[in-house]
C-alpha cells in the first residue's frame, strides 16, 4: 500500500486517493460539459505538480463528471471596457498556463490513464494523446474544432495525431474538424479499449490497480524507453511552437471574428462556449 497523501482543496476538479497509489482526478463542471475554464486549467496544473512531487503516486487516472469527459477550453470572452492590450495580456497569461500544463503532462513521472466517459473536444481530446492509456465508453465522440475558430493545433496534436492516427485522419480532424467516434479512434489505436458506460470506472480502476501493483522501477524504466529524452524534448518544442502560433492566431482579425460569431450563437442558446 502507498503512503497517504495530503490532497489540495480544489473547486472545479475532484480528487480521490486510493491506497494502492492511484490518484483519480475528475473534471467537475458537469453543467458546462466539463469545459476548461482558467480555474480548471490552474487546478489541473496543481494536480500535475502534485504528481511530479509525490513519489507515493503510482498512477494518475483522469475522467469527467456527468455526461462529458471535457468540452475543451472555454473561449475567451472579452471583458467590458478592457483595452486591446489588456485583452492580449490576459490571452498571453492563459496561453502560458496551457503551455505549462501541457509540459507537465509530457513529463509526467507516472502513467496517466484517461477514462473517457463522454465527448472529448478540443484540448480535452488533444491532451489524451499525451496519456499512457485511453479507455473510452462506446458512445464518446472526439473532435478538434480549431479551424472553425480560425485557430490551430494544440496539445502537441500537430505531431501526436499524425503518428497515432495517420496523416490523413489527423488532417481530417485538425483541418476539417471531423468528429471521430470512439469505435474509429479504437480502430486507429488512439483508444486502447471500448467499454459500456457502467463498466468504465471498474475496468479503468482494475487496469490502474494492476499497474500500481507492479515493480515501479520496471514501469519507470520502460516508460523512460518509450518516452525517451529525445521524444520528450521534441514534444516540449512542439508545445512551445503550437502555443506561440495559438497566440498569433487568437489575436488575428479572422479568429476574433470567428470566435465572436460563435460566442454570439452559443450565448443565444444559453450555452457555455468552448474549444
Over residues 70-121, the pLDDT tens digits come to: 999 998 776 666 777 888 899 999 999 999 999 999 999 999 999 999 999 9
pLDDT digits (tens, 9 = 90+) for 16-66: 999 999 999 999 999 999 999 999 999 999 999 999 999 999 999 999 999
Give the pLDDT of residue 269.
72
Question: In whole angstroms, what is the distance from residue 77 CA to residue 163 CA?
Answer: 34
H or E segment to which residue 116 belongs = strand 112-116
From the list 123, 162, 168, 163, the residue with the least C-alpha distance to 142 is: 123
Say which residue the cell 496534436 belongs to. 157
Give the pLDDT of residue 80.
67
pLDDT digits (tens, 9 = 90+) for 120-136: 999 999 999 999 999 99
pTM of the shown model? 0.94
> C-alpha cell of 74?
472555454
pLDDT digits (tens, 9 = 90+) for 189-222: 999 999 999 999 999 999 999 999 999 999 999 9
Domains defined along the chain, listed by start: 13-268 (3.90.226.10)
Question: In whole angstroms, what is the distance from residue 271 CA to residue 275 CA?
Answer: 13
> Is residue 175 within 8 Å of 147, Cβ to Cβ?
yes
Give the pLDDT of residue 179.
98
Amino acid at each position: 500500500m502507498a503512503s497517504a497523501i495530503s490532497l489540495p482543496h480544489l473547486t472545479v476538479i475532484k480528487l480521490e486517493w486510493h491506497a494502492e497509489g492511484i490518484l483519480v482526478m475528475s473534471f467537475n463542471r458537469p453543467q458546462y460539459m466539463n469545459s476548461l475554464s482558467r480555474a480548471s486549467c490552474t487546478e489541473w496544473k496543481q494536480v500535475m505538480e502534485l504528481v511530479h512531487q509525490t513519489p507515493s503516486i503510482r498512477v494518475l487516472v483522469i475522467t469527467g463528471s456527468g455526461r462529458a469527459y471535457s468540452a475543451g477550453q472555454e473561449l475567451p470572452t472579452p471583458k467590458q471596457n478592457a483595452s486591446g492590450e489588456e485583452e492580449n495580456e490576459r490571452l498571453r497569461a492563459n496561453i502560458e498556463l496551457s503551455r505549462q500544463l501541457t509540459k507537465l503532462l509530457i513529463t509526467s513521472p507516472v502513467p496517466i490513464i484517461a477514462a473517457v466517459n463522454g465527448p472529448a473536444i478540443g484540448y480535452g481530446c488533444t491532451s489524451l494523446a499525451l496519456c499512457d492509456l485511453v479507455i473510452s465508453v462506446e458512445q464518446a465522440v472526439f473532435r478538434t474544432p480549431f479551424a472553425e475558430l480560425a485557430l490551430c493545433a494544440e496539445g502537441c496534436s500537430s505531431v501526436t495525431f499524425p503518428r497515432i492516427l495517420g496523416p490523413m485522419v489527423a488532417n481530417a480532424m485538425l483541418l476539417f474538424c471531423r468528429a471521430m467516434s470512439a469505435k474509429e479512434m479504437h480502430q486507429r489505436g488512439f483508444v486502447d479499449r471500448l467499454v459500456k458506460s457502467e463498466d468504465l470506472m471498474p475496468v479503468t480502476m482494475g487496469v490502474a490497480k494492476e499497474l500500481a501493483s507492479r515493480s515501479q522501477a520496471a514501469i519507470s524504466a520502460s516508460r523512460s524507453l518509450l518516452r525517451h529524452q529525445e521524444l520528450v524534448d521534441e514534444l516540449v518544442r512542439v508545445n512551445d511552437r503550437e502555443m506561440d502560433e495559438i497566440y498569433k492566431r487568437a489575436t488575428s482579425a479572422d479568429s476574433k471574428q470567428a470566435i465572436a460569431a460563435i460566442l454570439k450563437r452559443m450565448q443565444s442558446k444559453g450555452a457555455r462556449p468552448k474549444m
